[in-house]
Amino acid sequence: MKIQRRNKANPEFSLAAMTDVILLMLIFFMITSSAANQSAIDVNLPKAGAVDDNIPNPLTVSIKPDGSYFVDDNPVNKGELEQIIVDKLTSQTNKSFTIRADENTMHKDVVFAMEIAEKHKFNIAIATVKDK
């Protein structure tokens, strides 16, 4: 006599629940990605909101509108700027410096200081004024 089981395990897998979860995740990521891509066309630098400076930088590079550079309030030639920054930061544990550029400074002068940081893997901070 052959006895049959009453509770057979159903080996089929329902994909309906998984499809619902995937669609919800797709909607979630589409909404968050569109919110994250804000346009950066309207910029008014060097004003900023209330930002706390939590990283003390031992070195400050100031750039005036005429393209003259200053390291810790000492005038420096453009050709000597890289060597002076490297010399001052070699003994520091926090290898970073702050760029203080006038709002009328040409972009190429600020980028020159940023390229020095990129070349030597230094961290930089750009000083701004608090927006009123």
Domain ranges of the chain: 60-129
Cα separation, 96 vs 125, in Å, equals 8
Task: Write the DSSP symbol of residue 131.
Answer: P
Read off the amino acid at residue 99: I
- Sole residue written with tokens 């006599």: 1
3-25: pLDDT as tens digits? 776 776 666 777 788 889 999 99
Cα separation, 88 vs 112, in Å, equals 18
Q: What is the pLDDT of residue 30?
A: 84
20-74: pLDDT as tens digits? 999 999 998 888 776 654 434 333 445 555 555 555 667 888 888 888 898 888 8
